[in-house]
Amino acid sequence: LSADVNAPIVQYVARPQILDLGWGHPTPATLPTDAWAQAVQVTLSTYGWQAMTYGRSVGPGPLIDWLAEHIGTVDSQPCRTSEIFVTAGASHALALVGQLLVQPGDVVLVDAPTYHLAFRIMRDAGAELVSVPTDDQGVDPGAAEALICHLRRTGRRVSMLYLVPTFGNPTGRSLPAERRSSLVEVCARADVTIVEDDPYREIGFDGPAPGSLWCHSERSGIVRLGSFSKTVAPGLRLGWINASAGLITKLATLGYVDSGGGVNHTSALTMATFGASGAYGRHTDMIRRQYRLQRDSLVAALRTTVPDVPIAVPAGGWFIWMELPGGLTAAELLPVAEQTGVSFVEGPRFFCDRAGGSHHIRMSYSMLPPADLTEAARRLGVAIESRG
Ligand SMILES: Cc1ncc(COP(=O)(O)O)c(C=O)c1O
C-alpha cells in the first residue's frame, strides 16, 4: 500500500501511556472485515448495478424485509415494513427526527444522565434541553408529567423526550417494565413524542432485552432509533428509524432524500446480504460473548482495586457508571488518573445542564481487551487511593 501511514483516518486518538476507558468504540479485532468483504462480493454479483446507483427512498427492500423480521426476534412485538426508514446511524436518525419535530425554541426533555453526544444534535435543531426528573431506576413518569404541565403553563412548547432506556449509556441500566408503560401513557396524554435511542438492545448478556417503549406503545407518538454501529461496525454509518407509517412518509419525502435517494444505499443493501446469510447472527453471538468477557474482567478487577465501591453490574451494553468513594469528584480524579495511566469520562458530561454526576465516572469496557481492562482498574485504584 502506498497510502500515507500518517494520514488521519479514524476518530479515536491513541494516547500511548493511557488505558482509556472513555471511548465507547468497539474492540477493533472484533470488526467483521472478512465477513463484510464476502457480503460486498455477494451483493455486487447478486444485484449488479442496482447495488451502486441511487437507492429507494426508505431503504432497499431486502434490508427492510430482513429488518422487519429481525426486529420481531429481538423485541417483544413484530415490526411492519412500513414502519422502517434506513438512516446513516442513530445520530443521523436523531438529527432527522429533530429536523421534523422540533421548532427552534422548543423544550426537549432528556433523561439525566443520558448519552451526552445527543445533546448537541438536538440543540442543532434549535431545542432547549431540560433534564427530566429521575431516580435510581431512571425517568420518573409522574414527575415527567408534572414537569411537562409546568412548562406548558409557562407558555413553552415541549416537543420530545429523549432517553436510552435499554442498557443505557452511561449507566448500563434499563428502565423497569412498569415505568416503560406509564411513560408511554404519560407522553401519549401530553402529546410529547418519545425518542427511544436503542442501539444496545442486542448486546444483552443475561437473556433477552426488555421490550422496547416502541412495543409498549400504539406505534404513534414514539420514535425508536436503531443502529448497526454497536452490533456490526460504526464505520458503516448505518441504522434505522422505527416510527408510524405517517412519519416514515415524511422522512422519505424530505428534499434531500428526493435529491440523493435512500441513505447509504450500497452499505444498506450489503447489510441485507450480511443479515440474510446468517453472518449477522454469527457475528452478534460472538461479540456478545466478547463484551460479556470484557464486562466481567472490568467488574472483577474493580471489585479488587476499589473494594469499598459498590459496582452495579450492567446486564448489557458497553458501560459501567461508578460513584467515587469519599466525596471525591470526577474532576479532581481525572488529572491524577491520567498521570497514573488511565482515563474515563466525567459524570457531569451526561447531564444536559452539567448539574449532576460530579461524583460519578463512566467507564467503557467495549474497546480494550480483558488484560488491559484489569490493568486499567489497577491504575484507577492507585489514583483513587492517592486522593483518599
Ligand atoms: C446511546 C447512543 N446513541 C447513539 C450513538 C451513536 O450511534 P451511531 O453510531 O449509530 O450514530 C451512541 C454511540 O455511542 C450511543 O451510545
Confidence bin at 387 (pLDDT 50/70/90):
confident
Question: Is 226 touching ligand 1 by the criterion CB < 6 Å?
Answer: no
Q: Residue 366 pLDDT > 80, yes or no?
A: yes
Confidence bin at 60 (pLDDT 50/70/90):
very high
Question: Is 199 touching ligand 1 by the criterion CB < 6 Å?
Answer: yes
Question: Is 239 touching ligand 1 by the criterion CB < 6 Å?
Answer: yes
Q: Quick one: pLDDT at residue 306?
A: 97
Mean pLDDT score across all residues of the chain: 96
- Nearest CA, atom 14, ligand 1: 24
Question: Is 43 touching ligand 1 by the criterion CB < 6 Å?
Answer: no
Measure CA of the first residue to CA of the last residue in the chain; give whole Å.
51
Residues 340-352 have a mean pLDDT of 98
Cα 168 vs. chain centroid, distance in angstroms? Answer: 7
Q: Quick one: pLDDT at residue 106?
A: 98
Q: Kindly report whether the global pTM for this prediction surpasses the value 0.95.
A: yes
Residues 79-85 have a mean pLDDT of 97
Confidence bin at 219 (pLDDT 50/70/90):
confident
Using a CB cutoff of 8 Å and minimum separation of 24, what contacts does 33-37 make?
A: 35/274, 35/279, 35/282, 35/283, 36/232, 36/233, 36/270, 36/274
Q: For 251-271, what is each residue's pLDDT tens digit? A: 999 999 999 999 999 999 999
Q: Residue 289 pLDDT > 90, yes or no?
A: yes
Among the atoms of ligand 1, which is closest to the Cα of residue 93? 11
Question: Is 90 touching ligand 1 by the criterion CB < 6 Å?
Answer: yes
Q: For 93-117, what is each residue's pLDDT tens digit? A: 999 999 999 999 999 999 999 999 9
Distance from the alpha carbon of residue 154 to the mean position of ligand 1, in angstroms: 33
- Nearest CA, atom 7, ligand 1: 90
What cell numbers appear for 93 in the block?
Answer: 436518525
Question: Is 229 touching ligand 1 by the criterion CB < 6 Å?
Answer: yes
Distance from the alpha carbon of residue 227 to the mean position of ligand 1, in angstroms: 7
Distance CA 145, CA 317 (A): 28
CA dihedral over 82, 88, 94, 99, signed as positive or negative: negative
